[in-house]
A and B are shown apart, each in its own frame.
Chain A
Amino acid sequence: GDSVTQMEGPVTLSEEAFLTINCTYTATGYPSLFWYVQYPGEGLQLLLKATKADDKGSNKGFEATYRKETTSFHLEKGSVQVSDSAVYFCALSTKLQFGAGTQVVVTP
């Protein structure tokens, strides 16, 4: 069945460092792809999404490109801030479930 594989955390990095969180997927059709973010003590919220191949989603300095040839949707940010410390979830539109997410810790 459809699934996503996301790198495990925690990912610890310094402020202004470059962040990449890998996400690959397996799907039989053409799902939409999402990145959600969960800040401490809060629920998940949509960070960005892409609905078809080669689409790039972007928000708050984060970007991810829907790569059908590599079945990937990696999340990137060029210069992270302490406020980006959160858990990040990659998700498929065809799945009701979420994985464990990747915890990101940004230190000053």
Chain B
Amino acid sequence: NAGVTQTPKFQVLKTGQSMTLQCAQDMNHEYMSWYRQDPGMGLRLIHYSVGAGITDQGEVPNGYNVSRSTTEDFPLRLLSAAPSQTSVYFCASSYYPPGQGSSYEQYFGPGTRLTVT
């Protein structure tokens, strides 16, 4: 298994440009999520999905869009990049969504380092 893969690894955008960060998993996980990691802020949840066709917002969703047309893929779209979106982005997946009865851990991709100038 490749696990969770993310592309690209690095990206530089100009303010106002749009782009899509790709995320794919081959573990047949129902739950997928996107985080951003900034110095001193930990990981903050952007969007998540509990299955194909179902998405929901996390704590910092503004400026980002997601869709989940297949179980495997969960792309993150930046609609109009801003310098405040400079960050490292991680995609994660899990067999079940985090919840009361779940003991399933999350699997993380290697990250995409995005710089917006």
Docked Cα-Cα span, A36 to B111, in Å, equals 15
**B100/A31 in contact, CB under 8 A:** yes
Task: Name the B residues within 8 Å of A34 (CB-CB).
Answer: 105
Docked Cα-Cα span, A34 to B104, in Å, equals 10
Docked Cα-Cα span, A99 to B43, in Å, equals 6
Q: Is A77 an interface residue (CB 8 A)?
A: no
Known A96-B33, A98-B35, A98-B43; contact A49-B108, beta-carbon cutoff 8 A: no
Q: Is A95 an interface residue (CB 8 A)?
A: yes
Task: Name the B residues within 8 Å of A42 (CB-CB).
Answer: 110-111
Task: Name the A residues within 8 Å of B104 (CB-CB).
Answer: 93
Q: Is A100 an interface residue (CB 8 A)?
A: yes
Docked Cα-Cα span, A32 to B96, in Å, equals 13
Q: Is B58 an interface residue (CB 8 A)?
A: yes
**A93/B99 in contact, CB under 8 A:** yes
CB distance from A1 to the nearest CB of B (A): 13
**B59/A32 in contact, CB under 8 A:** no
One digit per residue, 1 when the CB lies within 8 angstroms of any chain A CB and 0 when it does not, for chain B 19-49 equals 0000000000000010100001111110010
Task: Name the A residues within 8 Å of B84 (CB-CB).
Answer: none
**A93/B110 in contact, CB under 8 A:** no
**A43/B90 in contact, CB under 8 A:** yes
Docked Cα-Cα span, A99 to B45, in Å, equals 11
Within 8 A of B (CB), among A55-108: 89, 92-101
CB distance from A57 to the nearest CB of B (A): 11
Within 8 A of B (CB), among A24-67: 29-32, 34, 36, 42-46, 49, 51
Q: Is B75 an interface residue (CB 8 A)?
A: no
One digit per residue, 1 when the CB lies within 8 angstroms of any chain A CB and 0 when it does not, for chain B 53-69 equals 00000110000000000
Can you list 12 pairs linking A and B with CB atoms under 8 Å apart?
Answer: A29-B100, A42-B111, A43-B92, A43-B109, A44-B90, A45-B107, A46-B106, A46-B107, A51-B103, A93-B99, A94-B100, A97-B58
